[in-house]
């Protein structure tokens, strides 16, 4: 019986330790980037909108909504969100370029309202009425998502999927845009090498085939700019013209950039 009691006492202390560790997971992240862990208590039910965190040394720190970037409370993350009625703390449901939050409707304590906010700061409450009309307008950048809402394939009941599909669309566009920028940078670098060669040809005293060489260089630059392959016959013709002018080394430098 004595051993049984000791076992219960140890189990009790173990449960308390786990509970204290779980409580320590709550935190407040300030706008300065500091993370303060402790017992968090939202004070967002009044007009002041603050959050309190009590640290392990029993010190209480209170932060206004304008001093708070985010806080964790009871396994939920909350963030300040700007609406047409000012800033309010909302519960983060889904994050991405388009984030979805739950908020407390006026005169309610439960987080029954849903709010959508894009990374550019524009946002809207998920409507009960005219859902198709308002959502297709708000998400018009992604035609596929907007058309699926318009057709009824995506509805308010599937708002989680609406957010996910929209974010996938934006992520794909961002990736494609990044690739396009990278390709333009590569093409620009290659064209710069041919600009240097063109200037050297122009600065060279007149030689047989100079005008043809400049015309071929201009054609090559245009093809690079359009992302087209430069045909071998054009390169061989240019090699022949520039070898007579003693510019073979300069040409090779441009050709090396063309291969990269």
The DSSP code sequence of 121-138 is: S-EEEPPSSSHHHHHHHH
Q: Are 136 and 149 contacting, i.e. CB atoms less than 8 angstroms apart?
A: yes
CA dist list (Å): 142 to 82, 110, 162, 167, 224: 24, 32, 11, 9, 31
Domain ends where: 95, 118, 142?
142
List the beta bridge partners of residue 98: 118
- Domain shared by 210 and 122, yes or no: no
177 membership: H or E segment, kind and range:
helix 159-203
d(CA 169, CA 158): 17
Q: Report pTM.
A: 0.64
Neighbours of 99 (CB within 10 A): 20
CA dist list (Å): 16 to 5, 10, 11, 19, 21: 17, 10, 9, 5, 9
Residue 29 lies in a domain: yes
Domain range for 131 is: 2-142
Q: How many domains does the chain have?
A: 2
Residue 147 lies in a domain: no
Neighbours of 95 (CB within 10 A): 14
CA dist list (Å): 103 to 81, 110, 157: 10, 8, 17
- Domain shared by 22 and 114, yes or no: yes
Residue 161 lies in a domain: no
The predicted structure's pLDDT at residue 70: 95
Tell me the per-residue pLDDT of 198-216, one tens digit each, with 9 for 90 and over: 888 888 888 888 888 888 8
Residue 95 lies in a domain: yes
d(CA 163, CA 208): 65
Residue 82 lies in a domain: yes
CA dist list (Å): 83 to 89, 98, 177: 10, 15, 30
Q: Are 89 and 42 contacting, i.e. CB atoms less than 8 angstroms apart?
A: yes
- Domain shared by 188 and 76, yes or no: no
Give the mean pLDDT per block of 10 residues along the chain (260 residues).
Answer: 54 55 75 93 76 93 94 94 89 94 87 93 92 94 93 93 94 80 76 85 85 88 83 86 78 78
- Domain shared by 103 and 231, yes or no: no
- Domain shared by 26 and 132, yes or no: yes
- Domain shared by 30 and 78, yes or no: yes
The predicted structure's pLDDT at residue 118: 94
The predicted structure's pLDDT at residue 1: 47
């Amino acid at each position: 019986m004595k051993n049984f009691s000791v076992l219960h006492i140890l189990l009790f202390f173990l449960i308390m330790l786990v509970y204290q560790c779980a409580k320590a997971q709550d935190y407040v992240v300030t706008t300065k980037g500091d993370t303060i862990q402790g017992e968090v208590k939202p004070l967002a039910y009044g007009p002041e909108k603050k959050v309190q965190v009590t640290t392990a040394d029993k010190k209480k720190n209170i932060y206004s909504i304008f001093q708070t970037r985010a806080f964790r409370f009871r396994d939920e993350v909350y963030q300040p969100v700007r609406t047409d009625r000012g800033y309010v703390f909302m519960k983060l449901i889904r994050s991405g370029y388009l984030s979805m939050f739950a908020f407390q409707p006026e005169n309610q304590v439960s987080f029954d309202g849903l709010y959508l906010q894009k990374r550019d700061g524009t946002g809207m409450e998920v409507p009960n009425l005219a859902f198709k009309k308002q959502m297709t307008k708000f998400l018009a950048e992604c035609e596929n998502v907007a058309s699926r809402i318009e057709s009824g394939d995506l509805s308010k009941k599937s708002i989680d999927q609406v957010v996910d599909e929209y974010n996938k669309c934006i992520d794909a566009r961002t990736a494609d845009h990044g690739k396009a920028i990278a390709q333009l940078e590569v093409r620009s670098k290659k064209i710069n090498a041919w600009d240097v060669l063109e200037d050297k040809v122009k600065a060279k005293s007149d030689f047989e085939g100079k005008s043809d060489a400049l015309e071929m260089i201009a054609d090559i630059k245009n093809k690079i700019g359009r992302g087209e392959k430069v045909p071998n016959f054009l390169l061989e013709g240019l090699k022949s013209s520039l070898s007579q002018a003693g510019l073979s080394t300069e040409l090779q430098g441009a050709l090396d950039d063309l291969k990269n």
